[in-house]
């Protein structure tokens, strides 16, 4: 077996991708990671498809400057609308978060009622519903619910305030009425709300797309014989397109380890494709 010391690139519109990075760190402890949070342009969920494709190209171009061996699109909106573009245009594997979570949801539901929550753009793309239905071995009913206020609430660190719970209750009401037994957290910001959502949805299995994406990343690198060896110098390098005061504290809180302050970079000059 050869050992590939190149880093893994991860990008998201903001801090939500840290929920994916957390699982990647767990499953790939010997790897180095370059994380880019496009905090100057968050959220992606209310942008047009063409704008999201442009942003995704720019973020991927930045990560390629770091000689990454794999790019993880740790953003559901970009996975829904730009993954195929990146996979077609780039010469390294590009992994999104929708397909891994969809397979887990299809396999995990007992009553065939699956809920999906996400940004407006992700829900409007219908990517999860199509992927879950294609992955299921028996009939499933997928009910999707846009939750546009969740991203700014997470970005503000309002993870379990009364106002957040009131908004969540309104979003979840139709899903509960539909008797879902499985809920896909179709935005990488949403796992930061998981303790609150678990309390509000007893008996419902929550699918964290980061967990299943990290497993797929392991498989891809193993198949390509590109895993780093135990002697590799692991680490994390954080970049943002705008300084966000809460980024470092939330990163440390969510990853459970100290992190360096992110470096501010510009990516909008990298491509005008």
Residues classed as catalytic: 75, 187
| Closest listed residue to residue 100, CA positions, set 23, 177, 157, 41 | 23
CA–CA separation, 273 vs 261, rounded Å?
31
First vs last C-alpha separation in the chain: 38
Q: Is residue 188 within 8 Å of residue 122, measured between CB atoms?
A: no
Whether the Cβ atoms of residue 144 and residue 118 lie closer than 8 Å to each other: yes
CA distance 262 to 95: 23
DSSP of 158-196, one letter per residue? -SS-HHHHHHHHHHHHHHHHTT-SEEEEESTTGGGGHHH
DSSP 111-142: SSEEEEEE-HHHHHHTHHHHHHHHH-SS--EE
Residue 241 near residue 38 (C-beta atoms within 8 A) = yes
């Amino acid at each position: 077996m050869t050992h590939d010391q190149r880093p893994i690139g991860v990008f998201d519109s903001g801090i939500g991708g840290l929920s994916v990075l957390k699982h990647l760190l767990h499953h790939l402890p010997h790897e180095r990671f370059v994380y880019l949070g496009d905090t100057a342009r968050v959220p992606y969920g209310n942008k047009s498809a063409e704008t999201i494709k442009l942003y995704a190209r720019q973020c991927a171009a930045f990560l390629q400057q770091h000689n990454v061996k794999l790019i993880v699109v740790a953003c559901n909106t970009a996975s829904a609308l730009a993954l195929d573009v990146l996979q077609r245009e780039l010469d390294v594997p590009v992994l999104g978060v929708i397909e891994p979570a969809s397979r887990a949801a299809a396999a995990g539901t007992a009553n065939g009622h699956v809920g999906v929550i996400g940004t407006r753009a992700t829900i409007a793309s219908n990517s999860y519903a199509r992927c879950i239905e294609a992955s299921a071995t028996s009939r499933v009913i997928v009910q999707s619910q846009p939750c546009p206020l969740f991203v700014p609430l997470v970005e503000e660190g309002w993870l379990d305030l009364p106002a957040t719970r009131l908004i969540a209750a309104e979003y979840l009401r139709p899903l509960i009425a539909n008797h879902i037994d499985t809920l896909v957290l179709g935005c990488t910001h949403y796992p930061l709300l998981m303790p609150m959502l678990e309390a509000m949805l007893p008996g419902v299995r929550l699918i964290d797309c980061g967990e299943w994406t990290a497993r797929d990343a392991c498989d891809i690198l193993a198949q390509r014989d590109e895993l780093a060896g135990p002697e590799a110098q692991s680490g994390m390098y954080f970049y943002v397109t705008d300084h966000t005061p809460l980024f470092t504290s939330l990163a440390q809180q969510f990853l459970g380890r100290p992190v360096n302050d992110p470096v501010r970079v510009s990516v909008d000059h990298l491509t005008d494709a």
